[in-house]
Amino acid sequence: MYKAEKSIVIVGGGAAGLFAAVCLKERLPLARVCVVEAGGRALSKLRLTGGGRCNLTHTFEAVEALGEVYPRGERLLRKLFYRFGPQDTWRWFEERGLRLYAQSDGRVFPRSDRADEVADLLLLLARERGVELCEGTRVERIERSDAGWRACLAGGRRVEADAVLVATGGSPRREALERLLEDLPVELVAPVPSLFAFNVADGGLRALSGTTLADARLRLAGTKWQARGALLLTHFGLSGPAVLRLSSYAARHLAEAAYRAPLLVNWLPDEAPESLAPRLRALLDREGAKQLSSVRPEGLNTRLWLHLLERSGLDARGKCAEVSRKQLNGLVTTLTQDEYLITGRAPHKDEFVTCGGVSLKSLQAQTLEVRSCPGLYVAGEALDVDAVTGGFNLQAAWTTAYVCAESIIERFTQPLTSITPTP
């Protein structure tokens, strides 16, 4: 049995913080669980997720290895998904009245397609179970105290707690976490943005704004970083799943390069480079008398084809049969290794997460408790864990929040003698 007056402070009223609070109060109804949220309203970001629909998890059916979707945190999540994985998320929400559905691409949404419904449910559960919610109040610092832990709130208020859960989400500002955890043995991995579109300095490409490609392969020249998927040409440069994926995996590389990097686009990723030249030659010979503008490889629309001909130095009005061997080789290079310069991060309104945060090395992997800080836990995007788009980021938040809640419950329900004393 645990003492009724056990008290837990959760720093951050986002997805991870509220989820952990509800899990805690369901199992420890007598404990005092207080969520402190700096913003005016808890869960305000959750209401914006998935374009207002909240892509709250993924079926993972087509995901062969977690490393395909989690550039950071894959190994940790592989362990933790056994404790609380995507199916548990589905069950957890449905058992509490939220009906879900999965799209054919595996992304999971509430049946209502309303993120508000997810946020309202979590807030209702929190209220019904007696979670204290303190909105509009920032926790400035977490420090050790005689009782265990102390949260120092803006305005000078202090809250004593037996356990503290840091669920402050991601932020590209390192100082935010540094100040909060000052003097505590917590290693931070410098936070940088992830999941962003690319500004590209090429008027010809920008003029194709609105063009979408079902499949392209992108590579940062001279690096191992590459990604494949749908591509969207915009008024600022490039966006779409392939770009977001590349920005996620190469987040740190791009930050170090100050978001200026040469990008190679393969417009025909299914074509093996060695067979593309003979296939194009055969096509051009077959259509010999036609203008180049009217003969294009499958998968490219006319506007994009004209742009690529121009980049290859070919006259679109020239005859197919007149393309020399050298010109053909140039065209193949443009089709498979078309080089552009990324000149910056472009705004991407749908999803934006942080790469970096609390280093996983600072934590006990099984409990997410900070090493040598018994009673201090970290969950959600504050961890150095993040994913590509598809519901994987929120799944990481639910999983890590659940594991922290379970760890705190275990800590409080162990026989008192076996609890590690807080130094």
CB of 307 to ligand FAD, least distance (A): 31
71: contact with ligand FAD by CB under 6 A = no
CB of 328 to ligand FAD, least distance (A): 45
166: contact with ligand FAD by CB under 6 A = no
393: contact with ligand FAD by CB under 6 A = yes
| Between 46 and 220, CB nearer to ligand FAD | 46
Q: Which of 27, 34, 45, 279 binds ligand FAD (CB under 6 A)?
A: 45
| Between 327 and 359, CB nearer to ligand FAD | 359
241: contact with ligand FAD by CB under 6 A = no
Secondary structure string (H, E, C) spanning 346-391: ECCCCCCEEEEEECHHHECCCCCEECCCCCEEECHHHECCECCCCC
CB of 103 to ligand FAD, least distance (A): 12
Contacts of 221 (CB under 8 A, 6+ apart): 261, 262, 263, 264, 339
Matching residue, tokens 């065209």: 331
CB of 187 to ligand FAD, least distance (A): 18
| Between 172 and 344, CB nearer to ligand FAD | 172
| Between 55 and 312, CB nearer to ligand FAD | 55
Stretch that binds ligand FAD, among 1-9, 120-128, 161-169, 181-189 (CB under 6 A): 161-169
CA distance 231 to 214: 7
CA dihedral angle for residue 277, residue 230, residue 172, residue 392, rounded to 10 degrees: -130
CA distance 172 to 192: 5
Stretch that binds ligand FAD, among 81-89, 249-257, 307-315, 350-358 (CB under 6 A): 350-358
Could you tell me how many residues make up the chain?
423
Residue 310 structure tokens: 């121009």
Q: Which helix (H) or strand (E) holds 343?
A: strand 338-346
Q: Which of 21, 32, 37, 149 binds ligand FAD (CB under 6 A)?
A: 37
Residue 200 structure tokens: 């590209």
172: contact with ligand FAD by CB under 6 A = no
Q: Which one, of 379, 350, 357, 369, lies nearest residue 412 by Cα?
A: 369
List residues near ligand FAD by CB under 6 A.
11-17, 36-39, 45-46, 48-50, 54-55, 138-139, 167-169, 180, 350-353, 380-382, 391-394, 397
